[in-house]
Structure 1
Amino acid sequence: MGHGGGGALSAELVEHLFAPAFHNPALAEMGDSAQVTLGAARLAFSTDSFVVRPLFFPGGSIGDLAVNGTVNDLAMSGAEPAFLSCGFILEEGVQVDEVGRIAQAAGAAARHAGVQIVTGDTKVVESGHGDGVYLNTAGVGLVPEGVDIRPRRAVPGDVVIVSGPVGVHGIAVMSVREGLEFGVEIQSDCAALNGLVAAMLKVTPDVHVLRDPTRGGLATAVCEIAAAAGVGVTLQERAVPVPPEVANACAILGLDPWYVANEGKLVAFVPRAEADAVLAAMRAHPLGAGAAVIGECVPDHPGMVVARTGLGGSRVVDLPLGEQLPRIC
């Protein structure tokens, strides 16, 4: 299970097994989506599989999650998402009306994001060999001229911005899965971020890196960017927005909110000269109203992320071995 968690074990699996088998320049960038050319067009292409349990949770379902997750992977390349595929793997015995609810949710999410689901597939496995419904989605989008967003573009001096409070999705799923009550319902932040990214690029096309911190959360996303670009990153612990209900739930469960998955947030690395304008554009958008500057890229400790604590000390932020909360996306 740890190899599917987005942490160090996942990274090792990709680095030592899949990357050598599929080696090519587009894959080597290791972004949320691959950037490829087809004739004169520069495209972003992404695929993802969703095995969340339960299938419905506060704020969304596996249907919303699948569409928004793939739209967001495309948007993290600065692309304008256009077309998606959707494959259903159904377990024998799942109720048809439940599958219908999931399909309706996926269709509604696609319309809201401005994309079309244009092809798909259905497979059925024997009872006991699945968990109701698994989804796989793939998507393509057009990368605008002059936009070059990828992990290796982070450089010292870049400002690190997060689009809002972190840790919400993972705790929302865990609360309903385990029947936990925290005094207030925590709803997933599941949302399509292509509109927010478009607002940022309207201010400046020179955004260096975007990443949606899903599996492994904020900390894992920033660690992966630091390693890919070979830059140091310093985060300000108190600047990272964590909702009180998420902080309280994590304290009860023994979790670190920095490593809890999000499904409607992004992390941006932008040049310092553009940071104020990008932050203002983000805060003017409904999905970026809680945006905050949380750190910067530095020439020191290349490839490493360090957090400055509220007490004036520092600590190393590292990749988790596996995953705190499995099956949350």
Structure 2
Amino acid sequence: MRIEIGHGSGGRLTRELIEKVFLKHFDTPELKPLQDASCISISAESIAITTDSYVIRPRFFPGGNIGKLSICGTVNDLTVSGAIPKYISVGFILEEGLPLEELEKIVESMAETAKRAGVKIVTGDTKVVESGKCDGIYINTTGVGEVVRELSPQNSEPGDVVIVTGYVGDHGTAISLARENFEIETQIKSDCAPLNSLLTPLFELDGLRWMRDPTRGGLATALIEFSESAGVGVKLYEEKIPIREEVKFISEMIGYDPLYLANEGKAVIIVSKKDAERALEILKSHPLGKDAEIIGEVTEDFKGVRLITSIGGERRLELLEEDPLPRIC
């Protein structure tokens, strides 16, 4: 079976799609009444809200799919903002002709990822467009979380330490290989994962300054934006940055820089020098942070981001004019 225009009509086919696909997997009491809005409970004085749209190509890739990605991205955006993720809304734009079996696999992965992250999918919407008007499926999400820690680039001070939670560039490399069919045999998979269980223990550290999930634009872009916002410089050490040899090789072959490739299961963290080792200890105790490393420091000696190369040279990192690999999330 495939998606038909009638699935977006609001009639019988719509009802069947909701009951046989969405409610089958999105099993939360807030969603089941199928009202125009869901009632949720928030006890925090401050909440965080994030929204994002996912248009990745291909829809399925090594390590995940567009559905898993949409939940991970939303959870991670809330977490690095100092919030505990609680609720997610999902909106689907479906193209006529999309296989129903493929849609259900995507929805099932969303439900499994949400359960793993401890968040509830509480409301949603579905629209169907004519064949050729959409690349199979687009997903929009909005996430709500309870703020428990105020994080800001302005909290940083010279001497603070830069930590990355693991290997960078995996997601961008996996998507590139899946999309372009370079016929390269590799075990590289997307790092797509919800990071709240990894990162929330860091909220207890007095010296935690700032966090970001370096998605589009990668590690380099995230730190350049941090530097501009904080008005400080960042010194990175190339030999300390964890990058898989396969990612380095593939990047050199097709002309990419791993520092600018997207990640969907990593975070870059600024923490005081005093708390750096404790932060690293917390991260390494979690499966998603076992490869975490201290990769640099905040400085007042210059503005911007400078990479100290493995041979002792220095390279200034700049914002890219355009994404080298569009449609990666």
Q: TM-score range by the shorter chain?
A: 0.7 to 0.9
Write out aligned runs for 1:312-327 (5 A): 312-327=312-327
TM-score (norm 2): 0.85
TM-score (norm 1): 0.85
Structure 2 contact 191–264 (Cα < 8 Å) conserved: yes
Q: Residue 275 in 1 paired to residue 279 in 2?
A: no
- Stretches of structure 2 that go unaligned for 5 or more consecutive residues are 1-41
Q: Which letter does structure 1 place at the counterpart of 2:121? A: I
Structure 1 contact 199–285 (Cα < 8 Å) conserved: no
> Which structure's CA Rg is the greater one?
2
After superposing on structure 2, the runs of 4+ consecutive aligned residues of structure 1 that deviate more than 3 Å are none
Gap change, CA 1:245 and 1:124, over 3 Å in 2: same
Q: What is the distance in 1 between the residues matched to 2:206 and 2:109?
A: 32
2:121 pairs, out of 114, 117, 120, with: 117
Structure 1 contact 78–197 (Cα < 8 Å) conserved: no
Q: What is the distance in 2 between the residues matched to 1:188 and 1:274?
A: 30
Shift of 1:98: 1.1
Structure 1 contact 182–245 (Cα < 8 Å) conserved: no
Name the structure 1 match of 2:155: 153
Write out aligned runs for 1:77-88 (5 A): 77-88=81-92
Q: Percent identity?
A: 49
Name the structure 2 match of 1:291: 292
Q: Residue 76 in 1 paired to residue 77 in 2?
A: no
1:198 pairs, out of 200, 216, 226, with: 200
Q: What is the distance in 2 between the residues matched to 1:189 and 1:170?
A: 9
Q: What is the distance in 1 between the residues matched to 2:324 and 2:125?
A: 31
1:127 pairs, out of 119, 131, 137, with: 131
Gap change, CA 1:110 and 1:258, over 3 Å in 2: same
- Residue correspondences, number: 288
Shift of 1:135: 0.4
Name the structure 2 match of 1:10: none
Structure 1 contact 154–225 (Cα < 8 Å) conserved: no
Q: Which letter does structure 1 place at the counterpart of 2:255? A: G
Gap change, CA 1:39 and 1:64, over 3 Å in 2: closer
Q: Residue 263 in 1 paired to residue 267 in 2?
A: no
Name the structure 1 match of 2:305: 305
SS at match of 2:53: strand
Structure 1 contact 232–301 (Cα < 8 Å) conserved: yes
Show CA shifts across 1:285-320 (max 9, x none).
Answer: 111100001100000222x10111112111100111
Name the structure 1 match of 2:25: none
Q: What is the root-mean-square deviation in Å for CA atoms of aligned residues?
A: 1.3
Q: Residue 55 in 1 paired to residue 54 in 2?
A: no
Name the structure 2 match of 1:249: 250
Structure 2 contact 44–147 (Cα < 8 Å) conserved: no
Gap change, CA 1:132 and 1:301, over 3 Å in 2: same
SS at match of 2:294: strand
SS at match of 2:277: helix
Shift of 1:180: 2.3
SS at match of 1:272: coil
Name the structure 1 match of 2:101: 97
Gap change, CA 1:40 and 1:94, over 3 Å in 2: closer
SS at match of 1:85: strand
SS at match of 1:208: strand
Show CA shifts across 1:202-254 (max 9, x none).
Answer: 4x143101000000000000000000111111000111110011111101111
Write out aligned runs for 1:162-177 (5 A): 162-177=164-179
Q: Which letter does structure 2 place at the counterpart of 1:291? A: A
SS at match of 2:208: coil
Q: Which letter does structure 1 place at the counterpart of 2:217? A: G
Q: Residue 137 in 1 paired to residue 137 in 2?
A: no
Shift of 1:181: 3.4
Show CA shifts across 1:98-132 (max 9, x none).
Answer: 11111111111100100010001111122111100
Show CA shifts across 1:144-187 (max 9, x none).
Answer: 2xx22123322211100000000000111111111123332211
Name the structure 2 match of 1:240: 241
- Stretches of structure 1 that go unaligned for 5 or more consecutive residues are 1-37
